[in-house]
Amino acid sequence: MPVPEFVTALRSKIGTDPLWLIGCTAVVTRGDAAAPQLLLVRRADNGAWTPVTGIVDPGEHPSVAAVREVLEETAVTAKVVRLAQVGVTRQVRYPNGDQTQYLDLTYRLRYRTGRPRPADDENTDARWVPVAELGAAGNRWGLSAAMQARVSAALADEAAPRQVLLEG
């Protein structure tokens, strides 16, 4: 998994100490309301299926980061529809000892063009999945509870973003 250069530069100064970062989750949908589909990727680091996620670069607007991450990771272009959820993750400790906690901004995006594929080394697969397969009874894709909550927030027709104080 490539680590952004600005994170590498910070790590050279602070070592593995906790680092607060802004992340984004891009929940990309296509299709009609009767049978919508969701873009999922299979992460190379742990094999989990998730929506596209990424780190916001310094000075970058988070919605721009969401669109960029979708293109970089899947070769799909998408347009932001709305901010769906603002959440804070629990602290993450990576195998190398780095500690990080994320402010996650989850966006709903609408598909524009492209055929999903792993466009970089962050994922091993990318595909459209019927939203009906993601429900609690049929979650054959194994989305974590936190990812399910992000998808649920993105798919809801709510005017204001959901607020999550600390997600699992």
Helix H, strand E, coil C: the string for 2-58 is: CCCHHHHHHHHHHCCCCEEEEEEEEEEEECCCCCCEEEEEEECCCCCEECEEEECCC
Contact in structure between 39 and 28 (CB atoms under 8 Å): yes
Residue 120's pLDDT band (cuts 50, 70, 90) = very high
Q: pTM to 2 decimals? A: 0.93
Q: Measured between alpha carbons, how far apart are the two ends of the chain, in Å?
A: 22
Q: By C-alpha distance, which of 136, 124, 141 is closest to 38?
A: 141
- The reported pLDDT for the residue numbered 1 is 57
- The reported pLDDT for the residue numbered 82 is 97
- The reported pLDDT for the residue numbered 83 is 98
- The reported pLDDT for the residue numbered 2 is 74
Mean pLDDT of the chain: 93
Q: Look at 111 and 46; give whichever has higher pLDDT.
A: 111
Instruction: Look at domain 5-157 and name its CATH class.
Output: alpha beta
Q: Is it the case that residue 151 has pLDDT exceeding 90?
A: yes
Contact in structure between 106 and 87 (CB atoms under 8 Å): yes
Q: Token match 């009906």: residue?
A: 132
Distance CA 74, CA 168 (A): 26
**Residue ranges of domains in the chain:** 5-157
pLDDT, tens only, 35-78: 899 999 999 988 999 999 999 999 999 999 999 999 999 999 99
